[in-house]
Amino acid sequence: MLLKLGVPRVQRSLRFKVKSAQGVSSRRPHAEIDLLFNWNGRLWLVDCKDQEPVENLVPKLRRHLPRQLDPKAEELLQRIHDELTIGQTKALKEDLLAVREAGGLLGQIICVRKAELPDEVRQFARHNHIELVAKSDLVSGFRLLLFPNQLASEEQLKSLTQAHPPAAS
């Protein structure tokens, strides 16, 4: 899809490894990048998550547990949920480190997600200039990012007026 939008080259599945003082790379990568491309003088890192959010695992588990759990089990389940929710923000932080390491100050991160992100994760992304694109809206989401000064098409304007009709007088 990026190639169709005009990006000349896209690298997939890159792994960053730490080099020792002797110049030998470690076996295990410390960062993995789904897509990487250069556009308008910036290095763009794309992180894709196509699975169900991990924070949904605890509610699914609850369906298979007795309705009344003892308070210790309930507390533990809540702690597990809270830890899993932090995972979305942690993934964005790892992306920030990877793009700063590879792309410097002009590096840009795009996160493609299948599911809607929690408010606090979206706020973290906005605060750190991380672009979020819904998997269901890839073409227009990437087009907006790659061509920010492009005028809106007739179709986009029509869709906007349908979504937000003018107020009746």
Q: Burial letters for 73-98: b for 16+ Cβ neighbours within 10 Å, e otherwise?
A: eeeebeeebeeebeebbebbeebbeb
Please report the domains of the chain, with CATH numbers, ordered by start residue.
28-53+90-147 (3.40.1350.10)
Place of tokens 């792994």: 15
- Judge whether residue 30 has pLDDT over 90: no
Global pTM? 0.65
pLDDT digits (tens, 9 = 90+) for 81-125: 877 777 777 777 777 777 776 666 778 888 888 878 778 888 888
- Pick from 4-8, 33-37, 60-64, 162-166 the range whose average pLDDT is largest: 4-8
Calpha distance 139→44 (Å, rounded): 16
28 has a pLDDT exceeding 70: no
pLDDT for res 18? 64
Residue 58 and residue 152: Cα distance in Å, rounded?
42
